[in-house]
Amino acid sequence: MRAWIVYCRLGGIDIILWGLHGEYPTAEEARLAEWRLLVFGTWLFKAGYASGTVVNYIGAVKKWHQQATGLPEAALGIVFYRLPTLFRVIKKLNPAKQRDKTPWEFGDFESVQEGWRSECRQRMSFQLQPRSPAREYRLAVAWEVMKTAFQLLLRLAEVVTTVPPSVAMRDPLKWIDVIFEDAQGNPLEYDEKGRPVGCPVKARLREPPSKTRGGGGVMVLPFPNGWQSDRFTLAAGPGLFRFQREYPVPREHARSIPLFGMSQFAVSRPFVVPLSQQAFVTSMRALCRGAEPTVRYAKFGLHAWRVGGTNRLIDIGATAPQVCAAGRWMGDCWVLYARRQRKVMEELTTRMTERAK
């Protein structure tokens, strides 16, 4: 409440009154609108609010304004193009006040694989006893979400529905957005059931809208050398290939069905909604409990796989420009994600004084 009072005293209440009175701001008033938000955000930051809280408060003000006026800010001549810079500065100056971004490590995938391998007979189909097709499907979807987000450094909000919904989920990934290519670069064909047919060597996905590159581009998931369809792998590309073969969607529906949906496609009920955060978390925790050893999941957030993928790139020797390119960063804010566990840091510190072998 105190924060809202400060914003109103800065004159921000005028933004709301424009819509309530049916009036439109002058060009000068429109320019002041962002300035007020910038001052408001700076005050929150200096008052000790966490950087995430600052972002949420400013987002709430913008949403409040849009609901009151019934129009987007752009329609009133208001353009908030300096706010992203403020957010980056706040996060860089005060990273300690951010929520701890516990990474999902590559070893966690191996633990889940080991725990479910014997029960699923070498297949990650998550068949349970007694068998529950709906839950089996949710587990399979969550598993592919985790691998894809990890390998492509995606925010979880770009592949599942969160509250509040992210910009990316205004146009979620669809089945049509996955294209498998053979060794000659030709797209694979699909059979009458909607299953990809052939020997793929890579998968291409439409990139969800991100904070750094409007409109998105293309993401590539290469298949491991010597990959065979009857062998298990942690690579996301083969996982999506197997997933689309096990849970096919007819091509006439591929443009409307989310790639990661809440339920399996059925002709009797072709409407499928994207996987929700709550459903994903439930399935992810089930996978963690079935892992050997059990994976502790208490502190995993929306960026756990993006952070873990960043750390994995660093572990295998990726350079800073390569990390930036993989995560679609335009600055060095990815450094905030490059946090390693205490045990790993102790090992590296020890190796610093050892003679190279």
CA 267 to mean position of chain CA atoms: 29
The two structure tokens encoding residue 198: 């052939």
Of the listed ranges 43-57, 74-88, 279-293, 299-313, the least confidently predicted one is: 74-88
CA 355 to mean position of chain CA atoms: 41
d(CA 355, CA 357): 6
Q: Is the bond leading into 72 cis (omega within 30 degrees of zero)?
A: no
Segment of 16-25, 46-55, 111-120 carrying the highest mean pLDDT: 111-120
Which pTM value belongs to this model?
A: 0.69
The two structure tokens encoding residue 196: 């990809």
Tens of pLDDT along 93-107? Answer: 765 444 556 889 999
CA 328 to mean position of chain CA atoms: 12
R_g (Cα) of the chain, nearest Å = 23
The DSSP annotation for 61-103 comes to: HHHHHHHHHSS-GGGGT----SHHHHHHHHHHH-GGGSPP---
Q: Residue 71 CB: number of other CB atoms within 10 A?
A: 14
- Ranges of beta strands (E only) in 174-268 are 178-181, 189-190, 196-197, 202-206, 218-222
The DSSP annotation for 256-287 comes to: TSBSSBSS--BTTB---PBPBHHHHHHHHHHH
Going 329 to 162 to 304 to 119, the CA torsion angle's sign is negative
Per-residue confidence (pLDDT) for residue 128, from 0 to 100: 47
Tens of pLDDT along 38-74? Answer: 777 777 777 767 666 777 777 777 776 666 656 565 6
